[in-house]
Structure 1
């Protein structure tokens, strides 16, 4: 099976963001079947609260979801749209949701982000290189406070789906910091962990790869992580470095600070071997469960 992560620099223009996805899908070798594509968090719209509310769609209906379904059908692939605003029953509050489409264009699973990013991100210095001009640019990003709970409602269930004999578990960005969620997915016999993200530059530089490798190693799963990258305006700068990891925590494919795709093959025998050699899940004496909302 082929796993593909698309790294993007999304903004407030939905048409432009979707056009970029189309250019990247055209580069994938869909002769390899099955193929699963993962888009990053906020792939179609990386903006502000008012924009999210204005463009939120009913689950299973709407122009963005229709485009995703059309692509999945056109390329006969599994397409997981990192996150998109989905309407809730509460006025002025929405879900941020990951959406999984099968090769028939059917929405087969959705996941509402459980852990909302209410956090203070420290200031950081961003360094970029212009290799052609042999120039190094440095930019200071101010500290910033994020409060996703002002706009979004937290989900309350884990979500999985299967492609043949491979089971996928869904998560979004900040979820990565909560190993209990991934242990719960492991208990549901997941083989691949999906982590679409818009990890900030500061937190990504410090924690992105170590956290992803920890989730892969401790759960003995493949991990496919598609991140946003670059400047998004209003002091927003994301880390990039989308990556695909095997159950040993080894990097199979990785982007750095440019947009593009990462591809790797899933080896079911590697999964079985790692889990047989060190049967962590059989030895585990602790369980994970979701706390009730307060």
Structure 2
């Protein structure tokens, strides 16, 4: 099975963001083998509370979800939309939700982000990155100067409601075997209990769509991803946002595909684009047989209720 991560610099213009996704999907060879494509968190809309509330859709309905379904069917792929705002039953509160579509264009699974990012991100100084098509975002990608950043405060709980269920779905690969995929989003990466729960649910691939900040990504992105791959003996498919999104928001990029040994199979570093790799089922079997972690584990992970 082919694993693909799309890295992009999303903004507040949904039409422009979707146009970029379309341009990248057209570059991927999805013929001949099952293909799982992951988009980053906030792929269609990277903005602020009012925009998220204004453009939120009901689960399974809406133009953005219809476009995702059409793409999955057109390219005969499994397409997972990193996150998109989904309406809840509470006024002025929404979910940030990952959406999985099968090659028939059916929404087969969704995951409401469980861990909401309420944090202070340290100030860093970065050089500007390459961004996607400047005709879309009107950014000057030729600049190479350093820009001083101020500490940024995030509080996702002001806009979003935390989910309360893990989510998996199953893909039948070209050999007739099943591949189970576990879903997570961005800040979830810091909570190994979630990934152990997905592993206990027989996950073979762990998805991590993200908008990991430049400061936290530089320090923690790859080590955390490798830890989740190694300790759960799973492939990890991680698609991140990259670059300058305005409003003092800069993301790290470095989308990556890791095998169950924690080795990097492909990486898209500091520019927009695609990384691809093949899932080797024999590697999964070998690693798990050599070091049977789940059989040896004496602790369990469970989701605690919020008071």
User: Shorter-chain TM-score category?
Assistant: over 0.9
Distance, in Å, in 2 between the alignment partners of 1:32 and 1:215 is 30
Tell me, what secondary structure is at the counterpart of 1:218?
Answer: helix
Of 25-34 and 242-251, the range deviating more from structure 2? 25-34
Question: Once the two structures are superposed, what CA deviation does each residue of 1:26-82 show, in whole Å capped at 9, x if it has no partner?
Answer: 000111420010000000000000000000000000000000000000011000000
* Structure holding more strand per residue: 1
Which residue in the other structure is 1:103 paired with? Answer: 103
Which residue in the other structure is 1:240 paired with? Answer: 253
Which residue in the other structure is 1:113 paired with? Answer: 113
Distance, in Å, in 1 between the alignment partners of 2:69 and 2:129 is 38
Over the aligned positions, Cα root-mean-square deviation in angstroms equals 1.3
Which residue in the other structure is 2:91 paired with? Answer: 91
Which residue in the other structure is 1:267 paired with? Answer: 280
Deviation at 1:135, TM superposition (A): 8.0
Gaps in structure 2 of 5+ consecutive residues? 131-140, 173-177
Which residue in the other structure is 1:163 paired with? Answer: 171
Provide the TM-score with structure 1 as the length reference.
Answer: 0.97
Gaps in structure 1 of 5+ consecutive residues? none
Distance, in Å, in 2 between the alignment partners of 1:33 and 1:161 is 18
Distance, in Å, in 2 between the alignment partners of 1:60 and 1:189 is 26
Deviation at 1:137, TM superposition (A): 2.0
2:12–2:47 CA contact under 8 A, matched in 1: yes
Q: 1:189 aligns with which of 199, 202, 212?
A: 202
Which residue in the other structure is 2:134 paired with? Answer: none
Tell me, what secondary structure is at the counterpart of 2:105?
Answer: coil
Deviation at 1:293, TM superposition (A): 1.4
Distance, in Å, in 2 between the alignment partners of 1:233 and 1:71 is 28
2:129–2:271 CA contact under 8 A, matched in 1: no
Provide the TM-score with structure 2 as the length reference.
Answer: 0.93
Which residue in the other structure is 1:146 paired with? Answer: 154
1:223–1:244 CA contact under 8 A, matched in 2: yes
